[in-house]
Structure 1
Amino acid sequence: MKYFNKKPVLVILIALLSIGLLFSFVNKNDKLFAIAKNLDIFASLVRELDSYYVDDIDAEQLVTIGINAMLEELDPYTEFIPEENSDDFRFLTTGEYAGVGALIGNRTGVNMILMPYKGFPAQSGGLRIGDQILKVDTVDVSEKLTSDISKLLKGPANTSVLVQVKRGVDTLSFDITRKKIVISNVPFYGKIDDNTGYIKLSDFTTNAAADVRSAFLDLKSQGITRLVLDVRDNPGGILKEAVDIVNLFIPKGKEVVRTIGKLESVNSVYKTTKSPVDKDIPLVVLINERSASAAEIVAGALQDYDRAILVGRKTFGKGLVQTTIPLSYNSQIKVTTAKYYIPSGRCIQAIDYSKKDENGLSNSIPDSLRNEFRTKNGRIVLDGAGIEPDKKIDSKNFAPITYSLVARNLVFEFGNEFFIENKEITGPREFQISDALYEDFVSWLDGKEYDYTTYVEKTLEDLEKYAEKEKFFDDIKLTIEELKAKVSHNKEQDLVTFKDEIKDALREEIISRYFYQEGVIEASLMNDADINSALAILKSDSEISNILMASSKMLDSK
């Protein structure tokens, strides 16, 4: 038997034990080691798959899928941005890109122009809503995704792109020069009545505050004495722009929002830095369930200071802050780094992504865990579920026939045909769908498919299914048949019953052909329940006082 020298063996054993203890210590306590180890495993895995897997694989695609799957475990706002998507991300944050300036989409399987932006190359070059896109330069795009078409239309400023479209029975070609496109954060502003201004704020990209300030100053020069700021459907954006917009209405040196995260470097307090444009003008802010992030900071801060009355519906509830961090090879990650807290001290984040249920889903914060805070005047406000309005207005529900006519693009197609046959119409506020024009539309519908199921019919269908499943059908079969006969919808009668709301849909569709996005917004002001409620409040000093000084009761949610 061969013997080993005991001293070297002992030294080796001690060394191995020390290394084992060290790795054990590091493995338990040093996250950097764990990260490095798992990254090495991941890289090894991809290399071996690329070498040994039976079929060829796209390693880059696999890695991207893996990254996205990992990020899905966190929250919807932490996302990986590869180099090829950097232009799209830049547009989302700045509102700038070089292209033709048109919104494109797919309607009933056809790629088409949905909205050329007024004053940009697509509109000035002759493209119209409803134009079916056939080719971009020499590329046939009839079967391509709209995202691919959008990339083809974009390019360096001052370069030309040939766009071939089908309009009605004609095939037309347009040679369009790309330009730098800067989409305004304020697509429309104007006067609702002689004394009330209105500003539609659709985004918080670069210059959002400057856009609102410019619109506000113009309206003040026109003599307005009250203002409606509309942030409905606004998904948010740059936090600093939100702070500067709040600064238009409250004094210098006031806290608007603070961010608190895991790292000291992301903890910040954002205060107003300038004198306000007007700290006294009566103000209503319109909000809804699609107002998020920076839009909620504006609405919430103005509510906390009792500077504005909020009208509409509870907001989305996004109280998380994202920071963009550069990665290698020109990629980036947009990562949630903090939560934001508005002046009363509340965070309005509605979903707790740090906790998951047995199905791996994150849930809304329960009412029992929501905390009370106070506005400047002592009104009670709650955290954990978005911003609640001071005056709640129920959302408008449309009849099934209206949904069907819009969803099947029949309203859209009628708008196209009307535009071809009529060179001009009166202004957005003046134009109305006459009874004669509505009858033309009804006649035009003859022979077209737009059947639908009403809510009551759907309920009866569900009842019938459950009755059959639970063996009760024979007992109630006659009753169900009688109910079906009574509630069976009549399309012709529904065209009469819901004439007014169908007229509204037709009106806005037709106006969009002549006055684009701005015209649609202006036209909608006339029949907007939120705006009517805002006007009623602004015209009543006692109503304003009752809402803003009601320190002993919860916000009005009636």
Structure 2
Amino acid sequence: MTRKNISIVLVILTLGLLFSFAAKNDKLFKIAKNLDIFASLVRELDSYYVDEIDADELVPVGINAMLNELDPYTEFIPEENSDDFRLLTTGEYAGIGALIGNRVGSNMILMPYKGFPAQVGGLRIGDKILKVDTVMATNLPTSEISKLLKGPANTSVFVQVKRGDDTISVDLMRKKIVISNVPYYGKLDENTGYIKLSDFTTNAGSDVRKALVDLKSQGITRLVLDVRDNPGGILNEAVDIVNLFIPKGKEVVRTIGKLQSANVTYKTTKAPLDKDIPLVVLINERSASAAEIVAGALQDYDRAVLVGRKTFGKGLVQTTVPLSYNAQVKVTTAKYYIPSGRCIQAIDYSREKRDENGNSNSIPDSLRREFKTKNGRIVLDGAGIEPDEAVGSKSYAPITYSLVGRDLIFEYGNKFFLENKEIGNPRSFVVSDVVYNDFVKWLEGKEYDYTTYVEKSLDDLEKYAKREKYFDEIKGTIEDLRKKVSHNKEQDLITFQGEIREALREELVSRYYFQEGVIEASLVDDSEIKAAMGILSNPAKMSGILTASAK
């Protein structure tokens, strides 16, 4: 290379570095400028605004408005919310171990967790909270009561509740509460194990491993892993769970982001617990994030058959970054890609892809790409994980929604519990005719009216007919149809008693067997469970699904 050429190359490199430096400096200047404007604005508002302002309240509103322009997973966590955030990510807190909420206008215990202070101390579902320590709690927001019940481990808290006509007072010792990621596991039949995985907080992998080891010691030879309604959580826990079923050294997920530090490949690091056990994974539209990694990776390796409905479609990774004054920001830093190479993110949040109203849109089917599993089965990106065996969602009659939504089934559960000391085990317990008739009689005089879908459609038809001047011509027809489809609450209690009994059954079981019992009771009439059992009991069908020829 000549001296002249060398000089030209050096000039080009120098200019490139200068432009890069200038671009970086320009970006830093824009950030500094806007931060200065924001700080100046808050100072001037504090000086000139007609009323007093509270910066601790106003500034977070501005921060959250800014983050709303990004995606729903990037969020600001002020110091006062750090405990709640820690609970979401670790499943740990110190308190009495009970879910509380407001039902029928009262703050009450909705679910005491088995083995923790609230349940051991005798608190039950439906107990109305009157007082916590010296604070009257009847008119407090649920969030305030929750804060009062929490506190340092091994400290005492006084709780007074009303149960029926009785007022009950208990002194409870707060304990460190660790909520298991596996609220229930057991056997569906002599050969089939079942594990309900509800979260991916700390120790999710360990919780599933312990459950599987126990089930194998009971002689199971096939397994159903249920991640329906699982919102996800810690990515490493998802990797550990996949590792239970596939060999060491296999890729489970890759994360790719703007920063080099965000680009990570996660592989299995241990020998699997069982790489051959026939496996079905249950999924639905509320299975998200880490739950999708587990289901998707097992599908990509043709290691499990997925049963249910298409998952949520969250393929974004969040990292928690510390800020000043103990605040934090949970920020989206990468997308994840499962072994076939697909990203299952269903919504494109990039600003350039939004519509004229600023709304983010789902990725259109025309832009979804094909990938292949280990056996050559075609899978698609861009819209969650699709099941290998689809099972439609269960629908309920309007009367059932009304009875549940108006808390009437919940209230009857309180009444039943006060009158009955025990019931059969969760799987064998049924709502007898005597119990159901008592429920129907108890409903007399209570408000649970509702509009059926057909009645709503007729109302819409009448409205549009009047708007478009057709009503006089079809008025008689509409009136005849309305008479024919007009619902009768008493008749609906007979017509739809099957699903009403099912809702009653789960509510009553919860009073005696808590969360584990509710899950176990729900398995009896579960359509996805039935589909899973049909596949697991037919090896030829399962093999056919997991091979490319099945597509």
TM-score class, shorter-chain normalisation, is over 0.9
1:303-318 paired onto structure 2 within 5 Å: 303-318=299-314
Q: Tell me, yes or no, if structure 1 residue 408 matches structure 2 residue 406.
A: yes
Q: Report what 1:489 is aligned to.
A: 487
Paired position in structure 2 for 1:166: 162
**Separation in 2 of the partners of 1:56 and 1:472?**
58
Question: Secondary structure in 1 aligned to 2:548?
Answer: coil
Contact 2:544 2:550 in 1 (8 A): no
Tell me whether 1:219 sits opposite 2:215 in the alignment. Answer: yes
> Aligned to 2:323, which of 306, 316, 327?
327
Identity over aligned pairs, percent = 79
Secondary structure at 2:63 match in 1: helix
User: TM-score under structure 1 normalisation?
Assistant: 0.94
Count of aligned positions:
531
Give the gaps of 5 or more residues in structure 1: 1-21, 554-558
When residues 140 and 374 of structure 1 are mapped into structure 2, their CA distance, relative to the original with a 3 A threshold, is same
Q: 2:150 aligns with which of 145, 154, 157?
A: 154
The 1-side partners of 2:224 and 2:35 are apart by 52
Q: Counterpart in 2 of 1:259?
A: 255
Contact persistence 1:113–1:132 (CA under 8 A): yes
Secondary structure of the residue that 1:112 maps to in structure 2? strand
With normalisation by structure 2, the TM-score equals 0.95
Find the counterpart in structure 2 of residue 239 from structure 1: 235
SS, match of residue 446 in structure 2: coil
SS at 1:433 equivalent: coil
Amino acid at match of 2:96: V
Aligned to 1:537: 535
Cα drift, residue 108 of structure 1:
2.6
RMSD between aligned residues: 1.3
In the alignment, the residues of structure 2 paired with residue 151 and residue 363 of structure 1 have an alpha-carbon distance, to the nearest angstrom, of: 38
1:511 is matched with 509
1:443 to 441, 444, 460: 441
Mean CA deviation greater in 106-115 or 251-260: 106-115
Name the CA distance, whole Å, in 2 between partners of 1:347 and 1:414: 46
SS at match of 1:274: coil
Write the distance in 1 (CA, Å) between the matches of 2:274 and 2:163.
Answer: 49
Q: How does 1:274-353 map to 2 (within 5 A)?
A: 274-353=270-349
Structure 1 residue 30, shift from structure 2 partner: 2.0
Secondary structure of 1:527's aligned partner: coil
Contact in 2 for aligned 1:380/1:551 (Cα 8 Å): no
3-state SS of 2:143 partner:
helix
Aligned to 1:79: 75
Q: Which runs of 5+ in 2 are unaligned?
A: 1-17
- Label 1:70 to 1:551 Cα distance change in 2 as closer, same or farther (>3 A): farther
| Corresponding residue of 2:6 | none
Q: How does 1:83-232 map to 2 (within 5 A)?
A: 83-232=79-228
> In structure 1, the residue corresponding to 2:347 is in which secondary structure?
coil
2:457 to 456, 459, 462: 459
Matched with 2:386 is 388
**Counterparts of 1:485 and 1:115, CA distance in 2:** 43
Q: CA deviation at 1:147?
A: 1.2
Q: Which residue of 2 aligns with 1:16?
A: none
What's the offset of the Cα at 1:29?
A: 5.8
Contact 1:26 / 1:33 at 8 angstroms: preserved in 2? no
Moved over 3 A (4+): 25-29
Q: Deviations over 1:290-334 (max 9, x none)?
A: 000000000000000000000000000000000000001000000
Q: Which of the residues 21, 25, 28 maps onto 1:32?
A: 28
Distance 1:512 1:60 in 2: 42
Asked if structure 2 preserves the Cα contact closer than 8 Å seen for 1:322 and 1:335, the reply is yes
Q: What SS does the aligned partner of 1:256 have?
A: strand
Deviation of 1:110 after TM superposition, in Å, equals 1.4
Check whether the contact 1:131–1:167 (CA below 8 A) recurs between aligned residues: yes
Question: Is the 2:137–2:145 Cα contact (8 Å) retained in structure 1?
Answer: yes
Q: Post-superposition shift, 1:27? A: 8.1
* Residue 109 (structure 1) shift: 2.1
